[in-house]
Amino acid sequence: MNADTDRPTLLLVHGAWHGAWCWDLVRAALDADGWRSETVDLPSANPPAGLHHSARPAGMLDDANAIRDSLRRIDGPVVVIAHSYGGVPTTEAIADATNVVGAVYLAAFQADVGESMLTILGTPAPDDGTGHTPPYEDARRILFDDVPEAEARRAVARLRPQSVRSSTERVTAAGWRTVPSAYVVCDRDQALEPSRQRELATRADSVHQLPSSHSPFLSMPRQLATLLGRIATSTLPTPRH
C-alpha cells in the first residue's frame, strides 16, 4: 500500500543494546497500513564504523543529536515512537524540534529534566572499566519472553554493548511538556516493571496497554502497528501552548 502523505511520518527509536533492525516487522506492518516510517541507529549501542576502541563512548546527549539529525531529514510532521531507554534521548531531542507533533513512549523512560535512566531506576552506574554494559545474560527471558523462539534467537544474537554514559547523562529539556505524548504500558514486561511504567505514564496525555513483554515489536508487531496508527491519528491531543 502506498503511504498516505497526509499522515505524519513515524520515527522509530530503539532502546538499549538494540539497533534500527528491531523495528523491521513493525515497519512492514505500518507500510501495509499506509504509514511512512523511519528509524535511527543510536550511537550509544551502534558506534560508527572505524571508531577507535579507546574513543569516548557515545552518551545520551549524542543519541539525542542522532535523533535530531533524523528529524531534520524528514519533511512534514513527525510522531516519534521511543522504546525503553530510547525514551530518554527522545525526550531531550523533541524539546526543540519544530516538526514533531507527538511522542509515543513504548515501555519507555519518560524522563524529566535532571533525570537519567539510572536515577529513575534508582540503581548505581555499572563500572567494569570498559565504559559499556553488556546485554542481560538472560536476555531471552527478560527482553523477549513472548517472542517466537527463532525470532528471539536472532534478536539476542544482534544485541550489542550499551555505553554507560547513555544511562547516566541527565535530561536537560523535557519535550513531552510541550509535545503531546502517549504511553504504552506492556503488561507482561520483565525488564521495566509495569508498575513503574504506569508511574511514568502519569506524565503522558494518554495511556494505552499491550498484553506483551518488553519487546512487542517482535512478539506482536501487527497489534503494535495498529495501536501506533490509532494513537498517531486519533488520541494525541491538540499541541499545548
Number of domains in the chain: 1
pLDDT at 237 over 70: no
For 127, residues 6+ apart whose C-beta sits below 8 A from its C-beta are: 164
Contact call for residues 143 and 191 (beta carbons, < 8 A): yes
Tell how strand 162-163 and strand 132-133 pair up: antiparallel
pLDDT tens for each residue of 29-75: 999 999 999 999 999 998 876 555 557 899 999 999 999 999 999 99
Cβ within 8 Å of residue 37, ≥6 positions away = 9, 10, 11, 12, 23, 26, 27, 30, 31
Q: Is residue 3 part of a domain?
A: no
Which of the residue ranges 3-7, 44-48, 223-227, 231-235 has the most confident prediction, judged by mean pLDDT? 223-227
Q: What residue numbers bound the domain in which 227 lies? A: 9-235
- Whole-number percent of the chain with pLDDT over 70: 92
The whole-number pLDDT of residue 241 equals 38
**Average pLDDT of every residue of the chain:** 93
- pLDDT bucket at 21, cuts 50 / 70 / 90: very high
Give the pLDDT mean for 128-135: 85
Q: Which residue has the higher pLDDT, 6 or 139?
A: 139
Q: What is the mean pLDDT of residues 135-143?
A: 96
CB-CB neighbours of 46 under 10 Å: 20
86 within some domain: yes
User: Global pTM?
Assistant: 0.93
Q: Is residue 240 part of a domain?
A: no
SS3 letters for 81-148?
A: EEEHHHHHHHHHHHHHCCCEEEEEEECCCCCCCCCCHHHHHCCCCCCCCCCEECCCCCHHHHHHCCCC
Q: 91: which residues sit within 8 A by CB, 6+ positions away? A: 82, 103, 109, 110, 111, 112, 171, 173, 174, 175, 176
Q: Which residues of 91-111 are buried (b: 16+ CB within 10 A; e: fewer)?
A: bbbbbebeebbbbbbbbbbbb
Residue 188 lies in a domain: yes
The values of phi and psi at residue 152, to 5°, are: -65, -40
In this structure, are residues 85 and 203 in contact, taking their beta carbons and an 8 Å threshold? no
**CATH number assigned to the domain comprising residue 26:** 3.40.50.1820
Is 72 a domain residue? yes
- Tell which residue, 194, 197, 196, 187, has the closest CA to residue 219: 187
Q: What is the pLDDT of residue 190?
A: 97
Q: Which one-letter amino acid corresponds to residue 138?
A: D
Q: Is it the case that residue 221 has pLDDT exceeding 90? A: yes
Please check whether residue 209 lies inside any domain of the structure: yes
Residue 2 lies in a domain: no
Q: What is the pLDDT of residues 140-165, one digit of tens each?
A: 999 999 999 999 999 999 999 999 99
| Tens digit of each residue's pLDDT (9 = 90 or more) over 157-207 | 999 999 999 999 999 999 999 999 999 999 999 999 999 999 999 999 999
